[in-house]
Amino acid sequence: MKSTVAEIRRRFDGEVERFANLETGQVATVDARLSLELITGAAARLVPDARRLLDIGCGAGNYTLMMLEQLPALSCALLDLSAPMLERAAARVLQRTNRSAEVFQGDVRTVALPENHYDIILAGAVLHHLRDDADWAGVFGKLYRLLRPGGCLMIADLVAQDEAALTELVWQRYAAYLESHGGAEYRRRVLDYIAREDSPRSVTYQLELLKKVGFGSVEVLHKNLCFAAFGGVKARPAGGGR
């Protein structure tokens, strides 16, 4: 049985300090900083006139802070299961911008959010918690509706492989990566919580779903082992207006 939403929330409630430090807190994510820089840099280039950002699964705010380095005038909305994570992320945004972020606590599947509203949506290490096909399709469709035309959804996440033989290869290499950073016990601990909490889908699956729900174009920015950075752009209507 996979972890429930409540169990996932409780784990993240206790890990604010770790996730507030990109350098040491996300060692288990291959190329964490590179992926963060790529999706925020891509969003800034795709929507240079963006005004509103939504960061889903915002954690302690690393993705939002990097996005603000690219586009300092953004109005920020933060969504996370964990109240302590949201508190830390909002405090960091306030410190950086001297402006308050809008805060939503809850599950992206159920939280009410304004449609046709955001110019950029970031989803960093969150969508792998979705479960079945209905979950994935529902959330991707919702994120599409939340975006304004011309807006983009950028994702950095744990991903699966489509071929079983490649799955074995990739996870063997990832296990070796973990052991090289923290030893056998660290490898076991990370792989155990992935097995318990996560249900990632492949990049191919997610790109096809992005197109199916309406995104006009999709891009892969980076992939290394079982982690990838990619996204999609919501097409503008004929004539180019919003």
| Average of per-residue pLDDT across 105-132 | 97
Q: How confident is the model at residue 67 (pLDDT cuts 50, 70, 90)?
A: very high
Q: Report pLDDT for 1.
A: 84
Q: Tell me the per-residue pLDDT of 137-183, one tens digit each, with 9 for 90 and over.
A: 999 999 999 999 999 999 999 999 999 999 999 999 999 999 999 99
Whether pLDDT at 240 is above 60: no
Q: Which pLDDT score is estimated for 23?
A: 67
Q: What is the pLDDT of residues 72-98, one digit of tens each?
A: 999 999 999 999 999 999 999 999 999
Choose among 143, 136, 157: nearest CA to 63: 157
β-strand partners of 76 = 53
Tell me: pLDDT of 15 over 90. no
CA dist 175 → 30, 189, 203, 234 (Å): 11, 11, 20, 36
Has residue 241 got a pLDDT over 80? Answer: no
Mean of the per-residue pLDDT values of the chain: 94
Domain ranges of the chain: 5-160+199-233
Least confident of 5-19, 79-93, 194-208: 5-19
- pLDDT on residue 83: 96
Half-sphere exposure of 56 (CA within 13 A, CB side): 29
Other Cβ atoms within 10 Å of 3 Cβ, number: 15
- For residue 24, pLDDT over 70 is answered with no
Query: Given pLDDT bands bounded at 50, 70 and 90, which one contains residue 224?
Result: very high
Region 116-125: what's the mean pLDDT?
Answer: 97
Residue 18: pLDDT above 90? no
Q: What is the pTM of this model?
A: 0.95
Separation of CA 62 from chain center: 11
Sign of the four-CA dihedral 36, 38, 79, 204: negative
**What would the pLDDT profile of 46-65 be if each residue is shown by its tens digit?**
999 999 999 999 999 999 99
Q: Provide the percentage of residues in the chain whose pLDDT is more than 70.
A: 97
Question: Which CATH topology does 5-160+199-233 take?
Answer: Rossmann fold (3.40.50)
Give Cβ neighbours of residue 72 (< 8 Å, ≥ 6 apart): 97
> Is the model more confident about 99 or about 20?
99
CB 148 within 8 A of CB 118: yes
Q: How confident is the model at residue 191 (pLDDT cuts 50, 70, 90)?
A: very high
